[in-house]
Structure 1
Amino acid sequence: MKLDRLTRQAALALVALATLLAGCTTYVSTQVTAFSDWSGSDAVRSYAFTRTPDQRNSLEQATYERIVASELAAHAFRETDERDAHYLVALAYGMRSDTVTVAQPVYYYSAWPGPYYWGRPFDPWGPWGPWGPYPASYVNQSYPVFTHLLGIRITDRATGKELYNVTARNTDEQSSLIAAMPYLARSAMADFPMGNGVVRTVKLPVDGHGSVPNEVAAGSAAPPQPASGAKTVE
């Protein structure tokens, strides 16, 4: 009976821990690399998006441009016609799939009967449970992972000189690039302009719906949102 009480108390503790962890804020970590020759002396940063032949008339391209435009606006960039633009902004993006293999512990059911109640379907205190006296066996499990990439290149329209080139990259178990794009865009423009050759990790909180808080919906027109939610890790 005493063991049963301890088991129930431990189970309640595990449930409470799981509930606590479920309520914790999770983050998306993105590695950002910047190359910069930015002077920052202009008061009005007018720009226009430039596209490759494959990106012209692309709905996907237009969707990503709206997401990036929101982040650019937070840094005083104003989109205009290409003839009037001081800067040209080019986007590059893509996704790559990989497989990772992880050694996972395996615990076995105990067939031991009797007074210690180790004959139940699974007992964490049993001889082969996670808190039992015998070590677990391990098996290799493979999982798909997806690397999402966004590059933003800013050039001077008049001279063609490259002024800022930033790349944001993150990895997730989800394959959707559109779902990753708000995190990539906000991370890429966090702390703009970063120094030349700077590599940083930016952490953005995820809300309960799996999106960046206050992020605009893809393809919608909305006032710019500041990147204040970003945490930069040197």
Structure 2
Amino acid sequence: MNIDRWTRRIALLFAVLTVLLSGCTTYVTTQVTAFSAWNGSDATRTYAFARRQDQQNNLELSAYERIVANELAVHAFREVPRDDARYLVELAYGIRSDIVTVAEPVYYNAWPGPYWGRPFDPWGPWGPFPATYVNQSYPVFTHLLGIRITERASGKEVYNVTARNFGGESSLVRAMPYLARSALADFPLGNGAVHTVKIPIGNGGTPANEVSLPAAPAAASAPAAGPAAGSAAAPDGQAGQ
């Protein structure tokens, strides 16, 4: 679905507000749009993933297919070899970055307290100074996942759903579980359905993005005699996005 310029600006503004309030945010909000010719008459939902020739060895796509497969299984879909599948499932995905500038108020008081103004007036006779505004720029990312289901024998498209969300998360990998779960929530949606899915952070199909590392083991005490015990160096690594 195309988003015109003003709609996109409004969406990005909401995304900036999400970034600014990320410390209080507990949900990932995703917009889902579906087009459907699903008749619900299939007794066995067997499928295989479809790939273009240049995607055969794509490791990123393989990772996303596993995430989507977990969500399809919730709706009684079973992955089988391509020649045995009734449906073919094809994925499209992407991430886009934007910079949005927001004017934020800054309050300035030339006379810090204490004040001895009118009773119960903490500002005294001068009152607070009016706010000035400073432009602040924030990165905002759009994450997208499309899932297209066709009948293998006829090539007929029976379901096409797109999930899109905005936020400060710069990794599509970490956003993908929320996109996949949102895209297939309430499957099958009606033709032309548009709705919003809210998923608690950490419940997008995988653990929360934050990774807790175990504490380093305490160093062993050196014996009274003999060489001092050497401490093993901790691995120099960082959790990938």
TM over 0.5: yes
- Structure 2 matches for 1:105-120, cutoff 5 A? 105-108=105-108, 110-112=109-111, 115-116=114-115
User: Which is further off, 157-166 or 95-104?
Assistant: 95-104
Q: Measured at CA, do residues 84 and 216 of structure 1 come closer, stay the same or move farther in structure 2, by a change above 3 Å?
A: farther
1:52, 1:135 → 2: CA distance? 60
1:138, 1:26 → 2: CA distance? 29
1:135 is displaced (CA, Å) by 2.5
1:213 is displaced (CA, Å) by 5.7
Task: Give the 3-state SS of the residue equivalent to 2:166 in structure 1.
Answer: strand
1:24, 1:115 → 2: CA distance? 33
1:175 is displaced (CA, Å) by 1.0
Identity within the alignment, %: 71
Matched, 1:165 2:160: yes
* 8 Å CA contact retained: 2:181, 2:205: no
Once the two structures are superposed, residues 115-171 of structure 1 have per-residue CA deviations (whole angstroms, 9 ceiling, x without a partner) of: 429xxxxxxx658xxxx6333111221111010000000000000000000000001
1:64, 1:157 → 2: CA distance? 21
* 8 Å CA contact retained: 1:154, 1:163: yes
| 2:98 counterpart letter in structure 1 | D
Task: Give the 3-state SS of the residue equivalent to 1:196 in structure 2.
Answer: coil
Which position in structure 2 is the counterpart of 1:66?
A: 66
1:22, 1:196 → 2: CA distance? 34
Task: Give the 3-state SS of the residue equivalent to 1:101 in structure 2.
Answer: strand
Q: Measured at CA, do residues 216 and 51 of structure 1 come closer, stay the same or move farther in structure 2, by a change above 3 Å?
A: farther
1:113 is displaced (CA, Å) by 5.8
Q: Which has the larger radius of gyration?
A: 2
TM-score by length of 1: 0.71
* 8 Å CA contact retained: 1:25, 1:205: no
1:174 is displaced (CA, Å) by 1.6
| 1:95 counterpart letter in structure 2 | I
1:26 is displaced (CA, Å) by 0.9
Q: What RMSD over aligned residues (CA atoms) do the two structures have, in Å?
A: 2.7
1:216 is displaced (CA, Å) by 7.0
Which position in structure 1 is the counterpart of 2:176?
A: 181
Which position in structure 2 is the counterpart of 1:45?
A: 45
* 8 Å CA contact retained: 1:87, 1:154: yes
Matched, 1:101 2:122: no
Which ranges in structure 2 are unaligned for 5 or more consecutive residues?
Answer: 1-20, 117-121, 209-241
* 8 Å CA contact retained: 1:36, 1:165: yes
2:192, 2:137 → 1: CA distance? 34
Which ranges in structure 1 are unaligned for 5 or more consecutive residues?
Answer: 1-20, 118-124, 218-234
1:100 is displaced (CA, Å) by 1.2
1:214 is displaced (CA, Å) by 5.3
Matched, 1:215 2:206: yes
1:63, 1:76 → 2: CA distance? 21
1:107 is displaced (CA, Å) by 1.8
Which position in structure 2 is the counterpart of 1:121?
A: none
* 8 Å CA contact retained: 1:34, 1:165: yes
1:92, 1:22 → 2: CA distance? 28
